A and B are shown apart, each in its own frame.
Chain A
Amino acid sequence: MRVIICVFAFLAMHAGGAYAQTEGGAEAAGPLAITMFFAIILATLVITAWAARRTRSAHEFYAAGSSISGLQNGFAISGDFMSAGTFLGMTGLVYMAGFDVIIYVLAPMAGLAFILFLLAERLRSLGRFTFADVLSWRLEERPVRAFAAVGGLAVSLLYLIAQIVGAGTLVQILFGIPYAWSVIIVGGLMVVYVSFGGMLATTWVQITKAFLLVGGVVFMAIALLVYFKFDVAALYTAAAANHPLGADLFAPGGLYKDPLSAFSLAVALIFGMAGLPHILMRFFTVPNIYEARRSVFYATGIIGLVFILIFFLIAIGTIALVMNNPEFLGPDGVVRGGGNMVAIHLAGVLGGEILFGVMSAIAFATILAVVAGLTLASAATISHDLYANIFRKDRAAEREEVLVSRLAAFGVGVTAILLGIAFEGQNIIYLIALGFAIAASANFPVLLLSLYWPGLTTLGAVVGGGVGLVTSTAMVVTGPTVWVEVIGFSEPIFPYAYPAAFSLPLALATIFIVSKLDPAGRRDGPRDLRY
């Protein structure tokens, strides 16, 4: 453990030294930001070392021994959802398209409420660790576990690659470290957190980061209001004057080509959240169902506060103060670092080098924490579902399973680093779109029906979920984002960028029809739970 920490500390210092010699341009962070960056890494490693001494059993590794309180878990859930895509990406998207981004702002609040009302209670009372555990509770174990493992891993890996590519770019821009080194540092740190500290370290890294992110966003919102002398109308007028859309910045029409695109994106965002493995795992880290309910309530409140401040103030502030500001324009006339960097530039405008350094470090911590959560969910799927239950047919000792988890975290980390380097410079939005589409079309319908429909059969779940997985993937690949923008064909085969409005109903219908036509596979419905 100590050796590995030393190795990463060396790598980080080496990379920092390389920056000092080769870069030093105005866009890279100053010594203060570098200090903050190391302070954050050190804090998370201390948390991991502390957690590693407390993590022995599988329950401790996957669910932190159910020792997390409701408020802490609320921070952890919101931390899991608020990736770098939130603070940096959402601000950048509003900066470009204005009002229409509001669907991204509302969806997580509605999605979490939906999860709480219909899924959390039942998941929790089953007392298992993964999505696959829930399915195998009432269906034939091995086929549904294999399906759930494929669905869960597909979503986690897509999300993980997107985060790693975003992280590499951010660290590269902030600290002037070469892209490959940035990816290796982020990937290496996440492997250390997960394989040594398990869920306890992952959760505490997540709580720390969510706390910092909330604090940073609130502080920036207040600083922005002070800058405009608490005259919000002046802020909005300045933004409308700067943006090419003018006053239409605050009206619909900037992002969606047609009504169906908006609707399909909305379906993927609200129901996809219920199919994200690293979010579902969070219902098992609290000691009881009371704390689980309270934690979702805190999480919606925290996400609501942060998203509302970003959408209604900070993003508008970037348009008012960063857009067309010659200080931030690169030689090509575009803002330096692209849309993802406008929030960080705004921090510089509002609070000078100190706030710039603090917000950069918080953005970095955000990425580290989310990739750690995703790695843990993937490692749990590999060791618990594929290894212990399918490969070893439940004969694996618990110590053996935890060891495989730690090795799996290492394997997932190395895979993510390699794919992250391979995807350098690629458009990562389609990876996230695909992840959410699969989560909403494959994982969510099977999960919902397994909890509520007594007629569901194993064949129905596997075939219907498989149809959701294959159609959503095929629709994204043949749609505008991959077929046209990545591969380079002139016309998409599937005309819409977001497939969930088609693939989710198709999956539900397939599950229903196959289950009805499968009398031999009929199993008893959920018995040990009240309807």
Chain B
Amino acid sequence: MRFSWRMAVVVVVVFFAFVALIAFGQGILGRPLVDGGLFSVGMALGLLAMGASIGATALYALRINRMEAEAQAGDQHSNNPASTNESESP
């Protein structure tokens, strides 16, 4: 499976898993994270899910941009300045 599809599946699964917890796991999410505190397990998990979405975007953008920049640098090294990121790399 391509990298982009794997990342998309991860983000969608994390999102709907969290929604399913809101729908069915209300007892778990409503519990305070620390005994006697007010900040709930649900708020902590929500924050984690948000971090995961932003992190996945960052990982994807940085990784694909670096890979394509390297592929292009390689192309230019082999005297083929016309090639772009859409062309087949050797």
Q: Are A and B co-members of a single complex?
A: yes
Which residues of chain B (52-86) have a CB below 8 Å from chain A?
A: 53-54, 56-58, 60-62, 64-65, 68-69, 85-86
A270-B42 CB under 8 A given contacts A293-B64, A296-B61: no
CA distance A435 to B29 in the complex (A): 30
A251 close to B22 (CB less than 8 A):
no
Given the complex, which residues of A lie within 8 Å of B57, measured CB to CB?
109, 112-113, 116, 296-297, 300-301
Neighbouring B residues of A307 by C-beta, 8 Å: 50
**B61 close to A116 (CB less than 8 A):** yes
Interface of A is mostly: helix
- A103-121 residues at the B interface, CB under 8 angstroms: 103, 105-107, 109-110, 112-114, 116-118, 121
A487 CB within 8 Å of chain B: no
Does A308 sit within 8 A of B, measured CB to CB?
yes
Q: Which residue of A lies closest to B2 (CB)?
A: A531
In the complex the two chains form, what is the Cα distance from A125 to B84 in whole Å? 12
User: How far apart are the CA atoms of A109 and B16 in the complex, in Å?
Assistant: 13
Q: What 0/1 pattern do residues 265 to 309 of A give for CB contact below 8 A with B?
A: 010001000000000000000000110011011001100100110
In-complex Cβ contact of B29 among A109, A110, A251 (8 A): A251
A residues near B15, Cβ cutoff 8 Å: 106-107, 110, 266, 270
- The answer to whether A233 and B61 have CB atoms under 8 Å apart is no
Are A250 and B40 in touch, CB under 8 angstroms?
Answer: yes
- A444 close to B (CB within 8 Å): no
Max chain B C-beta neighbours (<10 A), residue from A106, A259, A270, A296: A106
Cβ–Cβ contact A113 & B26, under 8 A? no
A415 at the interface (CB under 8 A from B): no
Contact A262 B42 (CB under 8 A): no
A105 near B29 with CB under 8 A, answer no
Q: Is the CB of B19 within 8 A of A103?
A: yes
A325 partner residues in chain B, CB cutoff 8 A: none
A253 at the interface (CB under 8 A from B): yes
Do the beta carbons of A247 and B22 come within 8 Å of each other? no
Among A117, A252, A301, the residue within 8 A (CB) of B30 is A252
Do A253 and B26 have beta carbons less than 8 Å apart? yes
Task: Give Cα A107–Cα B39 distance, bound, in whole angstroms.
Answer: 21
Query: Is A424 located at the chain interface by the 8 A CB criterion?
Result: no
Q: Is A256 in contact with chain B by the CB < 8 A criterion?
A: yes
Interface residues of B (CB under 8 A from A): 2, 4-5, 7-8, 11-12, 14-16, 18-20, 22-24, 26, 29-30, 32, 37-40, 42-43, 46-47, 49-50, 53-54, 56-58, 60-62, 64-65, 68-69, 85-86
Having A100-B22, A106-B46, A270-B12, one finds 9 other A-B pairs with CB under 8 Å, namely A110-B15, A117-B7, A118-B8, A125-B86, A240-B38, A251-B42, A293-B64, A297-B57, A531-B2
Q: Which residues of A contact B (CB under 8 A)?
A: 99-100, 102-103, 105-107, 109-110, 112-114, 116-118, 121, 125, 232-233, 236-237, 240, 247-248, 250-253, 256, 258-260, 262-263, 266, 270, 289-290, 293-294, 296-297, 300-301, 304, 307-308, 312, 530-531
